[in-house]
Amino acid sequence: MTDHLSDLNAFGPVRFWIFDLDNTLYPRHTDLFKQVNQKITTYVSALLDIAPDEAHTIQKGYYRQYGTTLRGLMIEHSIDPDEFLEYVHDIDHSWVEPDPALGRAIETLPGRKYVFTNGSHSHAVKVAERLGITDHFDDIFDIVAADLLPKPQQETYDKFIARTGIDPARAAMFEDLHRNLVVPHALGMVTTLVVPRGTGEVFHDEWELEGQDAPHVAFVTDHLADFLNDVLQASGH
């Protein structure tokens, strides 16, 4: 599915391509973020000495309220963020399969490319290595570079722009959460929401799949590589 809510020629001026990591550069059904989620539940359960079910409820509440569970735990419980990030991203990345089609598409995009993630730099590198796209990006802007303040906070996008020097009016952003596209849209970026493909069971909360018709979402796709190839074809690349 590629839902053209506006003309693909909107990507013509774009020279800065910004990609979220988890559930965007790899499909949501990949058994990866589920591992992270389970480790976060274990961490919260041990930290607060509560049952896993209760820990999961608290975890998801913080995620929705603060942008990341980490941010919620820092504010509510003053945890060590470095210890948390190292623990929850110590997972089996082999579930991510190489994606040569995605690699070719990203490599062909004109201009500079970035990963902009609420996860850690090491996690992003491991995912990119598995996908086979490591060499196609100019920088990885992670949660530490954001001073642990996650998307969708305006300040975090401002820090990203200051570090990379991009022109938002010539940028495009790809995300799996529509709330993380509100600020990019307001800044003048072309926004694309990446949604799960097919009807198979995937790991998510219902609110995470909202926003496909939101005014800050210009395009919707369930297959990033195919969509980027459509973009390239429309621009003559």
Q: Is the pTM of this model over 0.75?
A: yes
Question: Are residue 174 and residue 66 in the same domain, yes or no?
Answer: no
CA–CA distance, 175 with 230 (Å, rounded to integer):
17
Question: Are residue 20 and residue 61 in the same domain, yes or no?
Answer: no
Identify the sign of the CA torsion 47, 50, 55, 61. Answer: negative
The pair of three-digit structure tokens given for residue 9, joined into one six-digit string = 């020629």
Question: Are residue 84 and residue 150 in the same domain, yes or no?
Answer: no
Question: Are residue 228 and residue 121 in the same domain, yes or no?
Answer: yes
CA–CA distance, 164 with 179 (Å, rounded to integer):
22
CATH of the domain at 62: 1.10.150.450
In the sheet with 171-175, reading across from the earlier edge strand, the strands are: 2-4, 219-221, 190-194, 171-175, 16-19, 112-116, 139-141
Question: Are residue 161 and residue 58 in the same domain, yes or no?
Answer: no
Query: If you write DSSP's letter for every residue of 72-108 in order, what string do you get?
Result: HHHHHH---HHHHHHHHT-S-GGGSPP-HHHHHHHHH
Question: Are residue 186 and residue 171 in the same domain, yes or no?
Answer: yes
Element (H or E) spanning 141, and its range?
strand 139-141
Question: Are residue 129 and residue 103 in the same domain, yes or no?
Answer: yes
Question: Are residue 164 and residue 190 in the same domain, yes or no?
Answer: yes
Last residue of a domain, one of 52, 70, 88: 88
Last residue of a domain, one of 69, 88, 107: 88
Task: Check residue 34 and give its pLDDT.
Answer: 87
pLDDT tens digits for the chain (237 residues)? Answer: 454 445 999 999 999 999 999 999 999 888 788 899 999 999 999 999 999 999 999 999 998 899 899 999 999 999 999 999 999 999 999 999 999 999 999 999 999 999 999 999 999 999 999 999 999 999 999 999 999 999 999 999 999 999 999 999 999 999 999 999 999 999 999 999 999 875 444 445 554 556 678 899 999 999 999 999 999 999 877
Residue appearing with tokens 């998307």: 151
Total number of domains constituting the chain: 2
In sequence order, the 6+-apart residues with CB closer than 8 A to the CB of 113 are 16, 17, 18, 19, 106, 136, 137, 138
Last residue of a domain, one of 88, 106, 122: 88
Task: Check residue 65 and give its pLDDT.
Answer: 92
| Domain span at 168 | 2-27+96-234
The pair of three-digit structure tokens given for residue 231, joined into one six-digit string = 């973009």
Question: Are residue 67 and residue 19 in the same domain, yes or no?
Answer: no
Question: Are residue 23 and residue 139 in the same domain, yes or no?
Answer: yes
Cα end-to-end span (Å), the chain: 22
Task: Check residue 212 and give its pLDDT.
Answer: 77
Task: Check residue 205 and give its pLDDT.
Answer: 55
